[in-house]
Structures are given as structure tokens and as C-alpha cells.
Amino acid sequence: MKKLISLLLAVMFVIGITVSCSKPGGKPDNSNNTGDSLTETDDGLYHANVPKVNYDGADFIIMCRSRDSSWNERAVFGEKDDATVLGATTWYRNEKVSDMLGITLKFEEINTTVTKGTFYNLVLENSRSQDYICDICVQGVYDAMNLITTGIIENLDNIDAIDLSQPWWSQKLNASIRIANKQFFAINDMLLNDKLDTYALFFNKELFANNGLAEPYALVESGDWTIDELKKLITDFGYDLNRNGKKDIEDQFGMAYQRVDNFFTGFGIFGASLDSDGMPYMNGFSERVQDGYDKMYALRNNYTWNEWGYWDDGHADDVLTTYLRLYPNCLFVCGPLSHYLDVIPRVENTIGVVPNPKLTSSQEEYYGRAGVSGCTAITILNSTPDKERAGIVAEVLGAEAKNITSPAFYKTLLTDRYAQDEESKKMISLIIDSEMIDLDSVFMWGYMGRKMEENIRDRNPAVSSLYASMLPKANEALQKTLDAILDY
């Protein structure tokens, strides 16, 4: 217990420094609020704009992936004797929220896969039975997006207690997953998977130094970090390190990656977009698509040791083991930010990080692909009996997460402990601030990013014909989704 108290004191000291310049949430119209508000103090911390309530110790159930599931949420639940920073601060936050609202937080952990597993089936069955199973449902975005057509997920805009404009809600990311001008699910500071599954480019600083290469930080800051600059660095860098005459995991590579579709996201090439009314539509073939596809095709197929792909060039028994073998001999490794927690601490080399490159320097901003496999979101089911209570708890959890768990995550873990140079600390913020989700990558109307990736693997240089064959079916699938959503 002494260890835990010391850990919490240290973490709260960090938090005090981090939030000393922060502002309380804005104050919406509380004319219908007959009680006091939790926003009345102005102490430099974030406060939820909700009425003061006391639920007399009533149970409040949060359903989420179990800690043994793939891509479990790391900051939803914690234990009193947890020796980890995230676990300890999460437990402290939950205890504080329980005291503030007079509730007993309980967690229903579901052992499940990332999509259409036990969790999905449980909620799907609930759409038919309408039994009370939880107050807040933290589910994967794959499942959430596919379940909104059943009518089981409440539009968060309809819950008065929820204010999605508050700083603990992820504004840019939530805007990208708003559909038909409705917010069925959203992400706030209580959740971390969207950030941990956002893809970036890690680089081996020692290989850069040993080969007289300039690190790409300056290019990122000037806005000139593009796919052409990446190509200059990795072309002709790799070679047959073990001299067996074939491409394998023991060789040296310019870049290793698990996916390619995150590069298309980085180029600002999205399968679907939202119009000014919040209605989704499929993006057609364009010169930008052709240019981005040609550059990735050349990167993948024109130089043997330019890159190494996890799925098509052979790999070890699991992703972690594979990456541990790749980092020492790869100039760049493309992977999610979770590498900072799971992989990089076990790598002997010094590692830096930059965002996915732009297509051209004229592109206004960098885009980060928030991982749709790992990413989870807050939903409230129609079967939840007291949706306003659920909204109040979601707001207070989000505000206190921004006060407590988020500073611990960013400051104590990502930057001070794992980021290995000052530039990386800036890059981590840029990468997370740039995260978004392409609706087409989750609804799979056309699944254009993945289809282009498969085309490149198959050494098919034609992309216009791919769009011509896929778009009619994609538009039809999108319309079916819209019809189902607009019906309720």
C-alpha cells in the first residue's frame, strides 16, 4: 500500500504541473438545472457541466473488453493495488468519480475478439430483448458502426447531459465518425486505444547516424515530410544482410510495415467523406488517388529491399516477436503508437518517431489513421433505463480522466519514460492530434484503402479499374446503411 500511495503522489505531482494552465469546460445554458453544478469551482482543473447529484451508492455498470481480450482498454478499470501508473491512476479516478456522484462503479468485462465476437453478439441480442445489461457500453468501433443499423445505440446528441464540445471529447476524431449528422458513439479521455492504435513511422536513430542521414524532424516541422522524401531515405538502403540470396526477416530494410492503407490515409485519400450536412458519400477515382497509388506501388514493388511487409514477406510466430527482430536492421518501422509501451522498451536501439508522410508538401495537414481494430468508443444503449444518468457519468469520467489519467499517460508514460528525444515528444502530440477514421474502412462499403493495398501486393498497377468495379457496389451498401440510420 505504501508503494501505491507513493506512486499516486508522484503521479498527482506530475498532473498538477500538467494541468496548471488548463481551463475548466465552458458553461452551457443550465436554465433547466435546478441544482448546483459541478462547474462552480475554478481551480485550474477540468469540471463537467452537470448537476450535482448523489445516487446513494447505486450500481453503475460499464461494459467493456476484458483485460485478457485483444486490444483491451488500458484506462477503463484499475485495481487498488495496481503497481502500474495507468492502473493506479485509473483506480484513483474511478474512486474519485464514485465519491463525487455517489455511485458504485462496476465493470462487466467481456472476453471477445476485436470485431463481431462475443461482445458484438451480446449487444445484438440486446437489440431484440431490450434487457438492461449496462449503463455505458465501451465497444470497438467496428462493432459500434455495424450495430447502429439495428437501432440499439442511442444518438448521444439526444442526451442533454452530454456536451461533445467539451475538451475531454476528441473533437476531430469524433467529427470523422459522425454519420448522418448523428453521434452514435464518441471517444473521450477515458479511452486510450484510439491513440495507441494510431499508426506512425518509427526510425532507428543509430542507423541514421551511422549512415550520415539527417533525421526527418525538420522536414515534418516545415510541412515537407512527404512520401517522396521517405522514398529518398529508404531506396537502396536495404540489402541482403545474411547473404542467402533471398528477401527474409534477417535482412536490412529501408522500411518494415504491417499495413499500407494507413499511408493512403496519410495522403488524405479516404474511401468515404462527409458532406456539409454530415451525410457520407463514397469518394471517386481522382488524379490524387492515381498519384498516391503509383507512389506506393513503386515503393512496394520496384526495389527488393526497399521495404518488408509483415503479411507478404514472411514473419515470426507473432507480431511482437517479429518487430523485435526487425527494429535493429530497419531504417523505419511503421506501426501503432502502442509500440512505445509493448515493443520499444525491449529494443536496444534509440528510436525516434514521425507521422505518416503527406502525398505532397502542398497538402495542408498530416493525417493519422486511428486504428479501427483497437479503437473503442463510448456508446449508450437504448436499453439503458436512465440515459441522463449515463450521460452525467460519461461527462464526469471524461473530465476527471483529462485531469488524472491523460496526464499520466502523456507525461509519465509516453513522453518522459518512453520517448527517447525531445523531438519525439512534439511528434507524439502531432500524431495524436492528427488522428481520424475513414468511415469506409469500418463500414467496409467499398473498403477502398484495403483493396488498394491488396492490389499492390498482387502487383497490379491499375487502380482506376479497381474503382470502376468497386464503386457501384460500395454506393449501394452505403445507401443501405443510411436508410437504416434515417429510419430512427
pLDDT in tens, 459-468: 999 999 999 9
Using CA atoms, how far apart are residues 463 and 285, in angstroms rounded to an integer? 8
pLDDT of residue 315: 65
- What is the share, in percent, of the chain residues with pLDDT greater than 70? 90
- 3-state class of 161 per DSSP? coil
Closest CA to 311 of 266, 258, 374, 267: 258
pLDDT band at 63 (very low <50, low <70, confident <90, very high): very high
Same domain, 179 and 311: no
Which residue stretches of 27-140 are H helix? 85-101, 118-129
The residue among 5 and 476 whose pLDDT is bigger is 476
Using CA atoms, how far apart are residues 163 and 168, in angstroms rounded to an integer? 10
Using CA atoms, how far apart are residues 61 and 79, in angstroms rounded to an integer? 16
Residue 386 inside a domain? The answer is yes
Domain count, the chain: 2
- Amino acid present at 41: T
Same domain, 277 and 188: no
Same domain, 107 and 190: yes
Same domain, 331 and 242: yes
Residue 423 inside a domain? The answer is no
Same domain, 350 and 265: yes
Asked if residue 227 lies in contact with residue 267, where contact means CB atoms within 8 angstroms, the answer is yes
Same domain, 385 and 472: no
Find the mean pLDDT for residues 210-229.
97
pLDDT of residue 232: 94
Give the H or E element holding residue 255.
strand 253-257
Last residue in a domain, options 417, 449, 473: 417
Q: Based on C-alpha coordinates, what's the Rg of the chain? A: 23
Asked if residue 62 lies in contact with residue 134, where contact means CB atoms within 8 angstroms, the answer is yes
Calculated CA dihedral for residues 422, 428, 433, 439, nearest 10 degrees: 160
pLDDT band at 488 (very low <50, low <70, confident <90, very high): low
Burial 228-248 (b: 16+ CB within 10 A, else e): eebbebbbebbeeeeeeeebe
Characterize the bridge pairing of strands 58-65 and 103-110: parallel
C-alpha cell at 262: 494507413
- Least-confidence region, from 25-34, 131-140, 435-444: 25-34
pLDDT band at 25 (very low <50, low <70, confident <90, very high): very low
Residue 433 inside a domain? The answer is no
pLDDT band at 312 (very low <50, low <70, confident <90, very high): low
Same domain, 479 and 355: yes
Find the mean pLDDT for residues 32-56.
72
Ranked by mean pLDDT, which of 172-176, 269-273, 484-488 comes out on top?
269-273
Residue 380 inside a domain? The answer is yes
Q: Is the per-residue pLDDT at 276 higher than 70?
A: yes
C-alpha cell at 101: 456522484
Tens digit of each residue's pLDDT (9 = 90 or more) over 352-388: 999 999 999 999 999 998 877 789 999 999 999 999 9
- Least-confidence region, from 74-83, 390-399, 464-473: 74-83
The three-point CA angle 146-147-150 to 5° equals 120
- Least-confidence region, from 1-15, 103-117, 123-137, 348-362: 1-15
Using CA atoms, how far apart are residues 268 and 265, in angstroms rounded to an integer? 5
Find the mean pLDDT for residues 263-286.
95
Identify the domain containing residue 261 by its residue range. 199-369+439-486
Same domain, 413 and 454: no
Find the mean pLDDT for residues 296-313.
78
Same domain, 272 and 132: no
How many CB atoms neighbour CB 221 within 10 A?
14
Asked if residue 376 lies in contact with residue 197, where contact means CB atoms within 8 angstroms, the answer is no
Using CA atoms, how far apart are residues 16 and 116, in angstroms rounded to an integer? 41
Same domain, 350 and 455: yes
DSSP sequence for 203-251: EEHHHHHHTTPPPTHHHHHHT--BHHHHHHHHTTT-B-TT-SSS--TTS
Residue 266 inside a domain? The answer is yes
**CATH code for position 398:** 3.40.190.10
pLDDT band at 249 (very low <50, low <70, confident <90, very high): confident
Residue 293 inside a domain? The answer is yes
Residue 430 inside a domain? The answer is no
C-alpha cell at 282: 463514397
Using CA atoms, how far apart are residues 381 and 468, in angstroms rounded to an integer? 38
How many CB atoms neighbour CB 386 within 10 A?
14
Same domain, 82 and 174: yes
Same domain, 28 and 69: yes
DSSP sequence for 439-479: HHHHH-SS-HHHHHHHHHHTT----HHHHHHHHHHHHHHHH
Q: Is the per-residue pLDDT at 308 higher than 60?
A: yes
Mean pLDDT of the chain: 87
Residue 61 inside a domain? The answer is yes
pLDDT of residue 313: 64
